[in-house]
Amino acid sequence: MNNKSGLASTDFATNAIAKLRRLKIQESVLNSSVHKVFSTPHEHEEFRTTFKGNNELKQYLNTIKNSFIEIKNLLEDVKISTNSSETIGQLDINEVKRDVLNLEAKLTSFKSFLQKEIATLKFHFNEIQGELKGKRFEDHKKNYKPNKQTTKQYTEIVPSPVRVLINSPFKCPEVENFQAFIMNSQRYGGWNEYNHNIFVQIWNKHFHMDNVDVLINVCNSDENIDRIQSFNEEVLQKIPGTTLKDIISHNKWYSEYVYLKSCQQRALEKWKDNKRKIKKTCQQQNAKHDLQSNRLSMSSGTAKSLMKKRDINKGT
């Protein structure tokens, strides 16, 4: 009976020693983790001051430290009680077994707690890192100074022939009238581009014609009241939010715009035609001058050759 009891005690002691070895490995890992937790926050003096003054954080770290010390003391007790075969024979097996299981449970619980805390710290780290990136982006936006490029105003967008006529000492009334109209008008007559384009499509459908000289009279004449009424109704239907007053005002502006632009275009074509005629005249005069020069040079050459022949004949 005593032999069986001794064998059971020996087997349990062997198992307990094996468990203790595993617990020692876990102890070294936990020691390293706790040391990291305690040492990392103290890298900067400013943080160290904040850390000391934060009672809530101190209590939190004390809880971790106390848990670790409790596990360490329990492990030391088990190690001392199972250190030699003499003490093993005198131990209460159930008590040792309870201590080992208690130690294992505390280690598992503490390990799980540390893993959760590390995951929480990583989450907060990523959150702070994201906020810092956002702050850097905002600072960059505030300090960013784009290269200033001068954008031409609507009234400055003028075709080159028009610019030539504007700067010419010989003023063209048609060009001056249209440019003055543009200078004193808002772009698209004060409408937005989308609504204005729809208006132009409807306007071309009702009023477009080759003879622009009578255009303004057609758009405002009582004789064309049916056409004007049909035009107004279509605009009201296809451009929501417009009033009859807006349409009449815009129609007046656009009719004048088309008329003055057409007058300018005819003046430009006339100017180009005159320019071509002048250029052609100059080319003809240059060609005539070149022909005369060639004839003179040929005559001079012929005269020289005759004189040379005469001199030769005299010599013979």
**Taking a C-beta distance cutoff of 8 angstroms, is the pair 107, 71 a contact?**
yes
- Which stretches in the chain have pLDDT values below 50? 1-2, 4, 44, 51, 151, 154-156, 158, 169
Q: What is the pLDDT of residue 155?
A: 47
Of 67, 80, 73, 79, nearest to 106 by C-alpha is 67
> What is the tens place of the pLDDT at every residue in 209-258?
655 555 655 555 556 777 888 888 898 888 888 888 998 888 889 888 88
**Taking a C-beta distance cutoff of 8 angstroms, is the pair 235, 196 a contact?**
no
Q: Which two tokens stand for residue 58?
A: 């101190």
Alpha carbon distance 306, 310 (integer Å): 6
Q: Give the Å distances, CA to CA, from 146 to 22, 137, 138, 141, 276.
A: 64, 15, 15, 10, 46
Alpha carbon distance 71, 109 (integer Å): 11
In a 10 Å sphere around its CB, with 0-12 CB exposed, 13-18 middle and 19+ buried, how is residue 146 labelled? exposed
Q: What is the pLDDT of residue 20?
A: 75
Q: What is the pLDDT of residue 136?
A: 73
Of 181, 261, 249, nearest to 215 by C-alpha is 261
Q: What is the pLDDT of residue 220?
A: 56
